[in-house]
Amino acid sequence: MTERYPGKAAVVRQSGGPFVIEDVSIAAPDADEVLVRVVATGMCHTDMVARDQDYPVPLPAVLGHEGAGVVERVGSAVTTVAPGDHVVLTYASCGKCDICEGGRPFLCRNFYPMNFGGSRLDGKMAIEGRGGALHDHFFGQSSFATYAIAAERNVVKVRKDVPLDLLGPLGCGVQTGAGAVLNTFGNVTGRAVGIFGSGAVGLSAVMAARAAGASLIIAVDTKPNRLSLAHELGATHTINGTKEDTVDAIQRITEGKGLDFALEATANPGLLKQAIASLGIGGFCGIVGAPAMGVEGCFDWNGLMVPGQTIKGIIEGESVPHDFIPRLIDMHLQGRFPFDKLIKFYDLEHINEAAADSERGVTLKPIIRLSSGA
């Protein structure tokens, strides 16, 4: 009989939730997998998108995809981590397709089934709970649980001199915002950057733009507390979209030149239209917000074509996590990336409170604590 590890998990059994804390067990890792005792897990907008079935993740399921923890056991083929290592869990990729082999795992041809399919690629599930198997492997981890199974590819070993319960959001939301600036935008030194949406992803982009030397960093939101924090974290200007016309304000701030780079981080089609309209000649707009399937945006065709502007979808900040996550940790320790200012901790029993606080904008980045980092 296969060895199993007992624990707790937050299970979503129906569209719209709630998260229900249940007794579960998880199987030992396969040859290329790692069993991680989860210390803490960030809560991301995509968890709610899956809970509410805007992305059709099969239910019942254990969600959670910003896990950080301690390696408990490794499969026979695993060589890069060992029991006792501190790790951050990130998105899954196959490592075998032409895209992965070309160095872009964030565009893996198997990205959707590996991250949203609710099981391993072969259909097997590792977690069992009330009534039998639970859909798992959400983003290759399902870390709203005492233990998570991840593939060696999406387990990132990290240094042990940083509080482990802080690091989970680096695996998705934080690396998405920061990576959009540092990886996709490239050289923003002396350039004008606009961030549309000042949630955790947007504010991670603000911090990255400041660290990279952007001359103008304009944060857009409707919540005064978020705009105040954006200014604290490095925004040179803030715009409250309920109080002034965002496009006009950006034209005024940039002296009519428009933005060199814009990042849309809200999944709001109207705000995407504003972001594109705010671009200058040769401007670049990145999209990281995740709306429900089928949502469409619009733009002025000639307004985009004639000035040579670009719109691009950005997944996971186009990061190669084994390189990028340690880089973000180093920047944090240097005082150049204070992402801890976004965070509020919750116990697993209060996961629904964390979700509600996140959706109301009360908390920018909830982190669910599950165990100690020792």
State residue 336's pLDDT score: 97
Could you report the per-residue pLDDT of 68-91, keeping only the tens digit for each?
999 999 999 999 999 999 999 999
Query: How far apart are the C-alpha atoms of 281 and 259, rounded to whole Å?
Result: 8
Burial class (CB in 10 A: 0-12, 13-18, 19+), 72: middle
State residue 374's pLDDT score: 60
State residue 373's pLDDT score: 65
Residue among 369, 147, 129, 200 nearest 137 (CA):
147
Q: Can you name the residues that pair with 218 across neighbouring β-strands?
A: 194, 237
Query: Which secondary-structure segment (H or E) carries 226?
Result: helix 224-233
> If you ran DSSP here, which 8-state letter would residue 7 be given?
E
Between 102 and 291, the higher pLDDT residue: 102
Q: Which of 72-76, 152-156, 358-362 has the lowest mean pLDDT?
A: 358-362
Sequence-distant (≥ 6) Cβ neighbours of residue 303 within 8 angstroms: 276, 277, 309
> How confident is the model over 25-53, as a mean pLDDT?
96
User: Residue 123 above 60 pLDDT?
Assistant: yes
> How confident is the model over 188-206, as a mean pLDDT?
98
Percent of the chain predicted with pLDDT > 90 = 95
Work out the mean pLDDT of the chain and round it to a whole number.
Answer: 96
> How confident is the model over 35-60, as a mean pLDDT?
96
Tokens linked to 271:
């705000």
User: Residue 156 above 90 pLDDT?
Assistant: yes
Burial class (CB in 10 A: 0-12, 13-18, 19+), 247: middle
State residue 112's pLDDT score: 96
State residue 361's pLDDT score: 87
> How confident is the model over 234-240, as a mean pLDDT?
98
Question: What angle do helix axes 224-233 and 200-211 make, rounded to 10 degrees?
Answer: 20
Strands 216-221 and 237-240: parallel
State residue 17's pLDDT score: 87
**Distances from the Cα of 309 to the Cα of 280, 285, 305, angstroms:** 8, 8, 6
User: Residue 354 above 90 pLDDT?
Assistant: yes
Sequence-distant (≥ 6) Cβ neighbours of residue 16 within 8 angstroms: 51, 52, 53
**Distances from the Cα of 202 to the Cα of 44, 173, 255, 287, 368, angstroms:** 13, 9, 24, 11, 21
- The letter for the amino acid at 141 is Q
User: Residue 292 above 90 pLDDT?
Assistant: no
Domains within the chain, CATH numbers bracketed: 4-171+338-369 (3.90.180.10), 178-314 (3.40.50.720)
Residue among 367, 372, 295 nearest 44 (CA):
367
State residue 320's pLDDT score: 97
Q: Can you name the residues that pair with 157 across neighbouring β-strands?
A: 87
User: Residue 1 above 50 pLDDT?
Assistant: no
